[in-house]
Amino acid sequence: MVLAVLGLPQQWQLPATLFLGIVLSILFLARRCRSTSRKDRLHLPPSPPGLPILGNLHQMGTLPHRSLWKMAQQHGPVMLLRLGKVPTVVVSSAEGAREVMKTHDADCCSRPDTPGPRRISYGHKDVSFSPYSEQWRERRKILVVEFLSMRRVQNAWYAREAQVDKLIDRLTSNGQQPVFLEDHIFRYMDGIVGTVAFGNIYGTEQFGQTKHFHDVINEAMIARSSFCAEDFFPNALGRLVDHLTGVVSRREHVFREFDAFFETIIEQHLQSTHTTPRNDEDLVDVLIGLTKEHQGSIRFGRDHIKALLTNTFIGSIDTCSVTIVWAMSELIRKPSVLKKVQDEIRTMIGNKERVQPNDLSKLKYLKTVVMETLRLHPALPLLVPRETMRQINISGYDIPANTRLFVNMWAIGRAQLSGIIQRNLTQIGSRARMSASTGHISTLCHLEQAVGCALGLPWE
């Protein structure tokens, strides 16, 4: 038909069709051979067998970190999966994770462009979920300088002391009645982060929505960490499946809740900006100032403020709350360990009213408990996925560019410790062992102070 349209005589149409078919077949085979030879030259990680179209998606299960751990026991700590259309490498060893997050951090520090994080981050205007770019580097620098400055850290300590007093009052007011610890710890962390980020005008209790906001945070964590069809089938089919399964509607609900909450906070700050002394500015005041005077490569707007505040809340409140609740749960289940921690804290405090910053380095047993909790119950069993920008080598395997990377912290915490790590373990008492360093020093100190203050109560 095409050849007839081109005006070829009828006697030439059949030979031309055969010739065109042969040429196209040769081109296809040549491309296939070139692609195969390139893969043969690469030393790729081992891959479990998958299904057509789905790849290894059917093997992920309802708890992906556990499923991937079991697969890693069969195929090794670095394995290559095909999740739909997305090539994915899963790292389940401490050595491999160190290469990903330290040795090759500059080559795989980008994030995949997936619909859930894109929406929650206002179109990648945040730090945690955005692909690598010059604008991302500038936003990250602003967040680190403004949120982790010495003045902000000092304010956080004062906020912690105030929130610990409130936490203890709420718990003791229940007497001998059972308490839902997760809600109390959430309110504790919510008060700390909210005060540091939003200043003294903040308090979800003032809005009468503490429980509601807790639910929204949980939904946001689920929306951020759960898989959706469009993550692995970035086409109309993936979008259709997500609409039919309700993923898109739940994501939009979370987005609207966060957006309305942050809009209220910003409006309150705009109304009180003229009365706020420069030294008393909180994070929102600083970010509002950037919308007026920032001269860098990006122009700050309200969406940038909301995206960075979303990072601050989700990254601080939920992760710390989860770890504190797990630590308390494990201690309550192990009365002998709980007593050792309490004895250490009470001995260290002496006649003082509370734990002070310079006491933290001396609480060795408490530090061990916190690190062991982080090992057994990581707040993020699968770290936020990365994407390679260039070809790298991890544990002797070649990882091509544009490959998605998952680090399975849950599996790493359960892997047998190597002889080198075992020789460097610091034993505290007869039953405690210091886990390998996680690198989260600020979080560790924060958790020590929180757990330490809470352990002043008669939990036994």
Per-residue pLDDT tens digits for 30-65: 665 555 555 558 899 999 999 998 999 999 988 999
Residue 443, pLDDT above cutoff 80: no
Top pLDDT among 237 and 434 is at: 237
Residue 120 CA to residue 115 CA, distance in Å, equals 9
Residues 362-373 have pLDDT tens digits of 899 999 999 999
Residue 180, pLDDT above cutoff 60: yes
Direct distance between the N- and C-terminal alpha carbons of the chain, in angstroms, rounded to an integer: 86
Residue 113 CA to residue 122 CA, distance in Å, equals 12
Residue 438, pLDDT above cutoff 60: no
**What number does CATH give the domain 57-454?**
1.10.630.10
Confidence band for 387, pLDDT divided at 50, 70 and 90: very high
Residue 22, pLDDT above cutoff 90: no
Residue 361: per-residue pLDDT = 84
Residue 213 CA to residue 183 CA, distance in Å, equals 11
213 with 261: CB under 8 angstroms? yes
Residues 67-93 have pLDDT tens digits of 999 999 999 999 999 999 999 999 999
Residue 277, pLDDT above cutoff 80: no
Residue 298: per-residue pLDDT = 67
Top pLDDT among 346 and 300 is at: 346
Question: What does pLDDT average to over the chain?
Answer: 79
Report, as an integer, the average pLDDT of 141-167.
80
How many of the other CB atoms lie within 10 Å of CB of 78? 23
Residue 276: per-residue pLDDT = 54
Top pLDDT among 240 and 419 is at: 240
Confidence band for 29, pLDDT divided at 50, 70 and 90: low
Burial of 245-274, coded b for 16+ CB within 10 Å and e otherwise, reads eebbebbeebbebbeebbeebbeebeeeee
User: pLDDT over 70 for what percent of the chain?
Assistant: 75
Report, as an integer, the average pLDDT of 302-324.
87
For the chain, the domains span 2-41, 57-454
